[in-house]
Each structure stands twice: as C-alpha cells, then as structure tokens.
C-alpha cells in the first residue's frame, strides 16, 4: 500500500509541470509585432489630431477643440449694469435697431413715456375699444342697484379723514400721504399694507404727514425703509419706489414734500402729473384721484378687472390698464365712486365672483347680465 501511494505521488509530480505549461500557453494573449513609436508631437498638433477622432468612437468628445466657440450669452435684466467690453475691439459689433428696441423697451423712462402716451391718447373721454358696447350707462346703473342691495350704499364722506392704523388705497386728505399709502397697498392684502404702514410710522417715529416725516424717509434711504415695510410684501420694490418718489416730489416742489398743488388742476392734468412719477401707474394714480382729490376717476384694481370680465364689460384680452381707460370712458361720472367701491367689496365677498370662485347661478349680479353679453369675452 505504501509503495502504491509513493508511485502515485511521483506520477503527479511529473505531470504537474506539463499541465501548467499547457495552461499557460493556452491563456497567454497574442503578442502583436512591435510597432515603431513616434515622438510625442507638440500640444497644438495633439489637439488637432484629437479633434479628428470619429464621433462614433468617442461620442462625448466635441470636435470643436481646435476651434474656439462663441461663449453662451447670459440673460440680464434690462436695468442691469452693462458688463465690461471684451478686450478685443474686433469682437464688438453694434446691436441692430431691433435689438436695441427690445433691450430698452422696459426701461423706466420708456415705461413712463408709454403710460403717459396711452393716457394722453385716450384720457377719460375715449375708450381704446370704441366698438366694444359694454358697459352702457344703463348697465352701470343696474349693477349699482344690485350691489347696493347686497352690500349697502356707498357715498363720498363729507370730510376725508386719514386712518392712523389702516393704509387704505388713496383715502387720505394729504395727497402725498395718499400716494404713499396706495403704493404700499399694491399687490398685497389690506391687512399686510396696513401692517406695513403702521411699522413705517413706528420706525420713523411719527404718524403725521409733515415735511419732517418725508425728509426722514428720504434721508434714511431704501434699505432702512425696506426693513420697516418688509411685513407688507414686495418691500424691496416699494421702498425704492417711495424713496424715488420723494426725490422727484422734492425736486418739483423746490425742496419741500407736497403734492397739494394737484388740487388746483383739472382731473386730466392731475392724472398726467401723477403718471409722470416713476413707479406710479394708472391704478395708483386713479385711486389717488378718486379718493384723495375727489375726482370722477374709475380705478381698476384686480377685483374690478376680474368682475369686468365676468360681466362682459371688457374684451377678453384687455389688460388692466386698457380696462381702466375703457371703463373710465364708459362709466358715468356720477356712478364712478360708488360703483368702484361696491365692485371691490363684491369681488372680495362673493363666493362666485372672488378669485378662484366658481359660478353656481346664485350671484344676483352675474344673473342680471344675459349670456349673450358674457359670451363675447
């Protein structure tokens, strides 16, 4: 038995090297003949050669390595500070007139000119939609009757008194104060605008409308005012608008802060003067004219604009500014104050007519106007 084991071990020792040799020969990679190695070329030649690699061999390798590409344009705001010109003067080309127009059409000076042009063209006497038939004077009277029955009568107060806690929307006896309050009310709720107005008075330590208050706001600059009215929303925009407004008022009034001279002007002249201020649009100017100056101006805010659409009182595509011009011409002067106030009230309270409301056939105001009228929206 021992002799058999020794014989088996000897055979295994003799066959193991042969098997290893066969395995090595079978799995060894095929050796290619040696090729001549070329010297490494300079970097530009290398880039040029790499750029010629076929796209299917390297799909992620762009073929533009040897050709500089034009940098991607960065979109900037219209009022952004222009970037430094490129170092190579040959790369500068003057923009086309079309591009110049597109780049500057929303600059503050251009917006100011456009709103003045629109108001001067139509004023409070003609509509930008002369062929649109509604509202007629009878439409306005019918709506006023219905709204009065729903929400009560609205008449001008015998004496206008400013609230110390509520910002309002132009209802203040001091014209400049009314204008600032209305700016605070833009694109926010009554609660937020009133909170911002109270905070402003706390920060600047006064609730009056004297020159000292406006001078303190102007001297403090936009940053301080922004912190004071942050609770009202859009504080960065509104603070810049108010400080800019005060500078414009002071420049026009010889250093004082007053707009009381607007009371001596006609309604159209006062509107043009208000619209001439940067940051004051038709809605803001119309609110000041209607409530503070006591003029027959039909202000159009988001509620009035929405209801005008639901009642068929404006074309479907009419903007708020165009709707203001249209309704200011169409609504009789004697209806403007009450109808504006009641439409705003109804737009906030009516479940069918407020923002996001759905028609359920229960609103008396919407039932009063036939389907053929609203179908033209």
Tell me which of 328 and 255 has the higher pLDDT: 328
User: How would you write the chain as a 3-class SS string?
Assistant: CHHHHHHHHHHHHHHHHHHHHHHHHHHCCCCCCCCCCCCCCCHHHHHHHHHCCCCCCCCCCCCCCCCCCCCCCCCCCCCCCCCCCCCCHHHCCCCCHHHHHHHHCCCHHHHHHHHHHHHHHHCCCCCCCCCCCCCCHHHHHHHHHHHHHHHCCCCCCCCCCCCCCCCCCCCCCCHHHHHHHHHHCCCCCHHHHHHHHHHHHHHHCCCCCCHHHHHHHHHHHHHHHHHHCHHHCCHHHHHHHHHHHHHHHHHHCCCCCCCHHHHHCCHHHHHHHHHCCCCCCHHHHHHHHHHHCCCCCCCCCHHHHHHHHHCCCCCCCCCHHHHHHHHHHHCCHHHHHHHHHHHHHHHHHCCCCCCCCCCCCCCHHHHCCCHHHHCCC
CATH number at residue 366: 1.10.1670.10
Whether the pTM exceeds 0.75: the reply is no
Residue 320 sits in the same domain as residue 354:
yes
The pLDDT of residue 112 is above 80: no
The pLDDT of residue 71 is above 70: no
Residue 152 sits in the same domain as residue 166:
no
The pLDDT of residue 96 is above 60: no
CATH number at residue 200: 1.10.340.30
Q: What is the pLDDT of residue 271?
A: 94
Residue 137 sits in the same domain as residue 116:
yes
Q: Is residue 24 part of a domain?
A: no
Residue 168 sits in the same domain as residue 317:
no
Mean pLDDT lowest among 2-11, 147-156, 245-254, 357-366: 2-11
Q: What is the pLDDT of residue 152?
A: 98
Rounded to the nearest integer, the mean pLDDT of the chain is 77
Q: What is the pLDDT of residue 241?
A: 96
Percent of the chain with pLDDT over 70: 66
Residue 145 sits in the same domain as residue 203:
no
Q: What is the pLDDT of residue 209?
A: 73
Average pLDDT over residues 266-284: 93
Q: Is residue 70 part of a domain?
A: no
Q: What is the pLDDT of residue 254?
A: 86
Q: Is residue 238 part of a domain?
A: yes
Q: Is residue 129 part of a domain?
A: yes
Q: What is the pLDDT of residues 181-214, one digit of tens each?
A: 999 999 999 999 999 999 999 999 876 777 889 9
Residue 206 sits in the same domain as residue 171:
yes
Residue 308 sits in the same domain as residue 217:
no
Q: What is the pLDDT of residue 65?
A: 37
Average pLDDT over residues 259-281: 94
Band the pLDDT of 376: cuts 50, 70, 90: very low
Q: Is residue 132 part of a domain?
A: yes
Q: Is residue 142 part of a domain?
A: yes
Q: Is residue 338 part of a domain?
A: yes
Q: What is the pLDDT of residues 331-359, one digit of tens each?
A: 999 999 999 999 999 999 999 999 999 88
Q: What is the pLDDT of residues 22-59, one digit of tens each?
A: 444 444 445 454 444 444 444 444 444 444 444 444 44
Residue 173 sits in the same domain as residue 244:
yes
The pLDDT of residue 110 is above 50: yes
Q: What is the pLDDT of residues 286-312, one digit of tens each?
A: 999 999 999 999 999 999 999 999 999
The pLDDT of residue 226 is above 90: yes
Q: Quote the domain boundaries for residue 336.
A: 109-156+294-377
Among candidate residues 230, 252, 267, the one where a domain is terminated: 267
Residue 145 sits in the same domain as residue 168:
no
Residue 369 sits in the same domain as residue 309:
yes
* 283 counts as catalytic: yes
Q: What is the pLDDT of residue 57?
A: 45
Residue 120 sits in the same domain as residue 200:
no
Q: Is residue 366 part of a domain?
A: yes
Percent of the chain with pLDDT over 90: 57
Q: What is the pLDDT of residue 111?
A: 62
Residue 176 sits in the same domain as residue 261:
yes
Number of independent structural domains in the chain: 2
Which residue among the candidates 115, 213, 238, 283 is catalytic per the annotation?
A: 283
């Amino acid at each position: 038995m021992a002799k058999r084991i020794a014989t088996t071990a000897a055979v295994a020792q003799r066959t193991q090297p042969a098997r290893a040799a066969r395995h090595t020969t079978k799995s060894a990679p095929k050796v290619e003949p040696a090729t001549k190695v070329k010297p490494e070329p300079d970097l530009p030649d290398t880039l040029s050669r790499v750029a010629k690699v076929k796209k299917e061999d390297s799909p992620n390798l762009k073929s533009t390595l040897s050709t500089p590409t034009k940098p991607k344009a960065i979109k900037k705001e219209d009022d952004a500070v222009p970037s430094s010109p490129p170092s190579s003067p040959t790369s500068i080309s003057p923009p086309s007139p079309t591009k110049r127009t597109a780049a500057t059409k929303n600059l503050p000076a251009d917006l100011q000119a456009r709103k003045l042009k629109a108001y001067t063209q139509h004023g409070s006497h003609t509509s930008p939609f002369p062929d649109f038939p509604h509202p007629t004077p009878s439409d306005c009277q019918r709506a006023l009757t219905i709204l009065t029955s729903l929400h009560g009568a609205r008449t001008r107060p015998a004496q206008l008194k400013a609230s110390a806690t509520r910002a309002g929307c132009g209802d203040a006896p001091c014209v400049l104060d009314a204008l600032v309050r209305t700016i605070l009310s833009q694109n926010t709720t009554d609660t937020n605008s009133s909170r911002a107005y109270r905070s402003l008075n706390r920060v600047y330590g006064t609730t009056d409308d004297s020159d000292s208050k406006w001078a303190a706001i102007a001297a403090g600059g936009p940053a301080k005012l922004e912190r004071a009215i942050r609770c009202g929303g859009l504080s960065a925009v509104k603070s810049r608008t108010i400080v800019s407004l005060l500078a414009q008022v002071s420049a026009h009034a010889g250093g004082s802060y007053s707009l009381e001279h607007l009371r001596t002007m006609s309604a159209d002249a006062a509107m043009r003067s208000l619209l001439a201020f940067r940051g004051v649009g038709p809605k803001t100017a119309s609110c000041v004219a209607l409530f503070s100056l006591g003029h027959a101006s039909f202000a159009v805010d988001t509620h009035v604009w929405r209801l005008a659409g639901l009642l068929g009182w404006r074309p479907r595509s009419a903007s708020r500014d165009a709707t203001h011009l249209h309704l200011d011409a169409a609504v009789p002067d004697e209806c403007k104050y009450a109808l504006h106030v009641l439409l705003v009230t109804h737009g906030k309270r009516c479940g069918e007519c407020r923002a996001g409301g759905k028609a359920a056939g229960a609103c008396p105001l919407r039932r009063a106007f036939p389907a053929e009228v609203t179908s033209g929206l």
